[in-house]
Structure 1
Amino acid sequence: MDKLQQRIERLGVFFILYTLFFYLFFSTLKYTIPFVLAILSALLLRYPTRLMIEKLKFKDWLASLLSTLVFFGFFISLNIIIWTSIVNELIGLIRYLQKLIANNSSDIYNYFMSLQDYLSHLNIDPSIVDTVQKNLSSSATRLINLTIGAGSSLVQSILTVLSYVPYIGMVVIFTLITTYFFTKKVAISTTSGLLSFIPTGSEKVILVINHVRKMLKNYILSYLLIIFITFIFTFIGFTLFRVKYSLILSILCAVLDLLPVLGIPLVYIPLAIMNVLAKNYVTGFGILILYAIVFFVRQIIEPKIMSTSLGLNPLAVLAAIFIGIQAGGIIGMLFCMFLVVFYEIFRKVDVL
Structure 2
Amino acid sequence: MFKNFTSRHWIYIFLIIGLILFGLFILPISVPLVLAFFTALFLNPAVRAIKKRFKLNRKITVTIVYLTFLLLLAFIGTYAVTTIIKQLVLLAENAPSYINHINNKLLEWNNNLEIIMQDLPNDFVNQVNASISDAVKSIDKVITDNIQVERVAGMVATILTAIPQYIVSFLVYLIALFLFMLELPFLKAKFYQNFTDHTAEKVQFMTGRLKYVLVGFLKAQFLVSIFIFTVTLLGLLWIIPEYAIGMSLIIWLIDFVPIIGSIAILGPWSLYMFITGNILMGTQLAVLAIVLLAIRRTVEPKVMGQQIGLSPLATLIAMYLGLQLIGILGFIIGPVLVIAFTSAKEAGIIKWNVKL
TM-score, structure 1 length as denominator? 0.76
Structure 1 residues 113 and 211, CA gap change in structure 2 (3 angstroms):
farther
Structure 1 residues 118 and 205, CA gap change in structure 2 (3 angstroms):
farther
Show the 5 A alignment for 1:1-352.
19-27=20-28, 29=29, 32-111=30-109, 136-137=135-136, 140-141=139-140, 144-145=143-144, 149=147, 157=155, 159-186=157-184, 189=185, 193=189, 195-200=191-196, 201-202=198-199, 203-322=201-320, 330=328, 333-334=331-332, 336-350=334-348, 351=350, 352=352
What is the aligned length?
333
Deviating more after overlay: 290-299 vs 231-240:
290-299
Output the CA distance in 2 between the equivalents of 1:116 and 1:207.
76
Deviating more after overlay: 92-101 vs 245-254:
92-101
Amino acid at match of 1:61: K
8 A Cα contact 2:233 2:244, kept in partner: yes
- What's the CA shift for 1:234? 0.9
Residues 189-238 of structure 1, C-alpha deviation per residue, up to 9 Å, x if partnerless?
Answer: 49974754342232332222222222122122212222222111111111
- What's the CA shift for 1:94? 3.7
Output the CA distance in 2 between the equivalents of 1:131 and 1:327.
46
Where do 5+ consecutive residues of structure 2 fail to align? 1-8, 121-127
Output the CA distance in 1 between the equivalents of 2:143 and 2:213.
47
Structure 1 residues 153 and 228, CA gap change in structure 2 (3 angstroms):
farther
Where do 5+ consecutive residues of structure 1 fail to align? 1-8, 122-128
- What's the CA shift for 1:293? 1.7
Structure 1 residues 231 and 175, CA gap change in structure 2 (3 angstroms):
same
- What's the CA shift for 1:286? 0.8
Structure 1 residues 257 and 278, CA gap change in structure 2 (3 angstroms):
same
SS state at 1:261 partner = coil
- What's the CA shift for 1:34? 4.2
8 A Cα contact 1:101 1:144, kept in partner: no
Output the CA distance in 2 between the equivalents of 1:276 and 1:165.
37
Output the CA distance in 2 between the equivalents of 1:199 and 1:330.
33
TM-score, structure 2 length as denominator? 0.75
Residues 63-99 of structure 1, C-alpha deviation per residue, up to 9 Å, x if partnerless?
Answer: 2222212212321342233123223322322442332
8 A Cα contact 1:116 1:133, kept in partner: no
Structure 1 residues 159 and 300, CA gap change in structure 2 (3 angstroms):
same
Output the CA distance in 2 between the equivalents of 1:218 and 1:293.
25
SS state at 2:173 partner = helix
Give 2:123's aligned residue. none
Structure 1 residues 51 and 345, CA gap change in structure 2 (3 angstroms):
closer
Output the CA distance in 2 between the equivalents of 1:299 and 1:113.
43
RMSD across aligned C-alpha pairs, in angstroms?
4.1
8 A Cα contact 1:275 1:283, kept in partner: yes
Structure 1 residues 117 and 226, CA gap change in structure 2 (3 angstroms):
farther
